[in-house]
């Protein structure tokens, strides 16, 4: 397909790319049209390889031919714009020079995600898209089988999540719980030991708790929202409370993304 050169940021053909930093606008627009954004050549290629269907591509003039092979395999239009038009359209300098809008797919059922998984990360209400993307990248890179999200958790396919995850959100299976209150019990009934990561009283060192597991065990790592951590309800329903020991008494815990990376490593290591 030939490139379509567009000079007006208000052109309705570019509506998918409007004001990408406006979270409220994007949440409404992307939900209404069933789309998500991929930014950067590498991430766009990973979305395409994962089987997501492109709606359109948007490249700046200096990157106009960067995705010729991906575009050639699609029926989606390719729009080429100047740097200035791109800035006025999306609301920031498009340093990577490449964006693509993709169609979303329905989330799989929880039973389908859990059917073959032995290790899962469960996120309770993380609201920062950067943190969600970083957790996905760690979980995928360290060999966790799947991610399960509480109902109010941030969208893994929001542009910032996708970018920070470097496309891990396309390949690591995930779904959402329908029921926050009964979510932990649902996972336990599916056979998962739930390790709740918390620096609070009564928690065990993570490695000690993991050492009691056997290779056939199914284990879920529970991570709570930024700052507050896991809710009392989820802590009460966990199999065990665990923490990452700190060397400095003035530091009681790590932020959720750093803690997730360490905990994912220990989780996978313990079941090898």
Task: Tell me how many domains the chain contains.
Answer: 2
Q: Of 103, 118, 134, which residue is a domain's last?
A: 103
The answer to whether 247 and 253 are in contact (CB under 8 A) is: no
* Helix or strand holding residue 264 (H, E): helix 256-270
Rounded mean pLDDT, 248-259? 88
Q: Are residues 65 and 96 in the same domain?
A: yes
CA dihedral 118, 173, 178, 224 (to 10 degrees): 70
Q: Are residues 213 and 238 in the same domain?
A: yes
Q: Are residues 91 and 202 in the same domain?
A: no
Please write the tens of the pLDDT for every residue from 97-120. Answer: 999 999 999 999 999 999 999 999
Q: Of 70, 103, 136, which residue is a domain's last?
A: 103
Q: Are residues 99 and 120 in the same domain?
A: no
pTM exceeds 0.75, yes or no: yes
User: For residue 251, is pLDDT > 90?
Assistant: no
* Averaged confidence pLDDT in the chain: 95
User: For residue 249, is pLDDT > 80?
Assistant: no
Rounded mean pLDDT, 48-64? 97
Distance CA 230, CA 125 (A): 9
Per-residue model confidence (pLDDT) at position 213: 86
Please write the tens of the pLDDT for every residue from 194-209. Answer: 999 998 888 999 999 9
Q: Are residues 64 and 130 in the same domain?
A: no
216: helix, strand or coil: coil
Q: Are residues 266 and 139 in the same domain?
A: yes
Q: Are residues 86 and 139 in the same domain?
A: no
User: For residue 1, is pLDDT > 70?
Assistant: no
Per-residue model confidence (pLDDT) at position 95: 87
**Residue range(s) defining the domain that contains residue 220:** 110-270
205, HSE (Cβ side, Cα atoms, 13 Å): 6
């Amino acid at each position: 397909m030939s490139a379509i050169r567009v000079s007006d940021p208000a052109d309705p053909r570019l509506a998918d790319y409007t004001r990408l930093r406006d979270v409220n606008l994007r949440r409404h627009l992307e939900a209404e049209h069933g789309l998500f954004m991929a930014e950067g050549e590498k991430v766009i290629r990973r979305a395409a390889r994962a089987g997501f269907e492109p709606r359109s591509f948007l490249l700046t003039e200096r990157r106009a031919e960067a995705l010729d092979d991906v575009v050639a395999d699609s029926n989606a239009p390719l729009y080429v714009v100047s740097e200035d038009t791109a800035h006025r359209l999306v609301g920031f300098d498009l340093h990577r020079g490449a964006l693509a809008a993709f169609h979303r797919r329905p989330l799989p059922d929880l039973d389908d995600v859990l059917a073959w998984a032995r290790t899962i990360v469960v996120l309770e209400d993380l609201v920062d898209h950067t943190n969600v993307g970083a957790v996905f990248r760690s979980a995928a890179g360290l060999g966790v089988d799947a991610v399960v999200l509480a109902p109010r958790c941030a969208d893994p396919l929001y542009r910032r999540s996708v970018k920070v995850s470097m496309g891990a959100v396309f390949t690591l299976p995930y779904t959402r719980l329908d029921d926050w209150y009964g979510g932990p019990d649902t996972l336990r009934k599916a056979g998962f030991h739930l390790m709740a990561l918390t620096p609070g009283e009564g928690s065990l060192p993570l490695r000690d708790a993991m050492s009691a597991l056997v290779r056939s065990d199914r284990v879920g790592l529970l991570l709570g929202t930024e700052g507050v951590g896991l809710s009392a309800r989820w802590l009460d329903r966990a199999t065990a409370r665990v923490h990452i020991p700190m060397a400095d008494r003035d530091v009681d815990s790590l932020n959720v993304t750093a803690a997730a990376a360490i905990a994912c490593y220990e989780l996978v290591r313990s079941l090898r």
